[in-house]
Amino acid sequence: MTNLKVLNLEGNPVAKRTDFCLLLYVIAILPKLNYYEYTFIKNELREEACALFYRELREVEDKQEQEIQSRELEELEQSEAKRLASSFVEHLDGHQLFESLWRGDEDGRILMLVGQQAVELADEYDKDIFELTQEIYKLGLERFGERDEEIQDFLNNLKEGQEELQIMGQKGIEDFLQFKETIFEEARTTLRQLEYNTMHGEDEESPENLVLSDIVDKLNIQFEDAMNDLWQTLMTQELYLHEAIEESTTNFHRKIAELMSKFVEQSQSFFVQLREISVHFSENMTEIVTRFISTKLALQDFDDVPSDLRMCMEDRDAILNLIAGMKDTHTLRIDEREDRIATRSKEFIDQMIDNLNR
């Protein structure tokens, strides 16, 4: 709408309103409009319209600016999400992994009911996990940069090789076409002379006609030889390109596989530390819960103990089962995120090579 230059609202219900100057309003909010109902809009009329609807115009401009900023922000977020997904470290730039550990963890929820000490321990747990996920996140972006550079180099080299071969092929064809014009002209001249001699009664077996016929035969042989040579040259170039691409693709596959393997191995070392942190948290949680229950039992003070936790007060095995369940859930979430990186890395390699082989 902002680039609209011609507008006609004749017959439109909105144009029939007598309490509203539609002409000036349209001119004000459509700055590039040149014609309204087939009438050229003069500068004086445009200035009058902008002055009359200054407030409305500012509202429209502010709204447009907000929409542009919102759209740019959305595009930026989508681009960043795509980049992180390509780096295999999406949802590792913040506290998402820690939050996922507690999702559906009923055992952990009950254990956290012991109070402030558990909350403080969980906060420390969150910080430790965040530090490691930040390392994985940074590693993913670094390896993505290396991988993307390798891919671009390969694709550029592939394109340059194809363009070079195309230029060579075009030159060979152009040289052949020039040769064709030359040899065809010689053949036409020779055939015209033969036709002329025949029309003037000269015998086909005359010495001159025999020489001319021999020239035509030789020209025909030269043309066929040149055409065969061109075909052989083009096929040789095509075969060379195919072999070069095959070799380059093999080397590229090896380099990408090495980069991905290195990334997976390095990320796995961080996941080992994440599991160790999870175990350490479970051990500390065991101490806090045990101390909490012992204190409550000694004082026989159960009034402020949540009902879910009160059921386990006199059953140590139940408490240990809660802790084991929490630990298993957290370990499973960490393992799943680690497996996701390894699986998607392999899928990336397979898909890229499959696309290159098409």
Region 306-310 average pLDDT: 78
Residue spans per domain, the chain: 6-87, 96-356
CA distances from 226 to 145, 213, 218 (A): 50, 20, 12
Query: Cα–Cα distance between 52 and 43 in angstroms, integer?
Result: 14
Region 166-174 average pLDDT: 90
Q: Which pLDDT band holds residue 205 (cuts at 50, 70, 90)?
A: confident
Region 189-211 average pLDDT: 79
pLDDT (0 to 100) of residue 8 = 65
Whole-number average pLDDT of the chain: 84
Q: Which pLDDT band holds residue 26 (cuts at 50, 70, 90)?
A: confident
pLDDT (0 to 100) of residue 268 = 94
pLDDT (0 to 100) of residue 324 = 94
pLDDT exceeds cutoff 70 at 2: no
What is the per-residue pLDDT across 212-257, written as a single tens digit (0 to 9) for each?
Answer: 888 888 989 999 999 999 999 999 888 888 888 888 888 888 898 8
Query: Cα–Cα distance between 49 and 31 in angstroms, integer?
Result: 10
Q: Strand (E) positions, the chain?
A: 6-7, 35-36, 39-40
Radius of gyration of the chain (CA): 41
pLDDT exceeds cutoff 90 at 327: yes
Whether residue 98 contacts residue 274, with contact meaning beta carbons closer than 8 Å, is answered with no
SS3 for 270-303 is HHHHHHHHHHHHHHHHHHHHHHHHHHHHHHCCCC
Strand duo 35-36 + 39-40: pairing: antiparallel
Region 302-322 average pLDDT: 79
Region 66-93 average pLDDT: 77
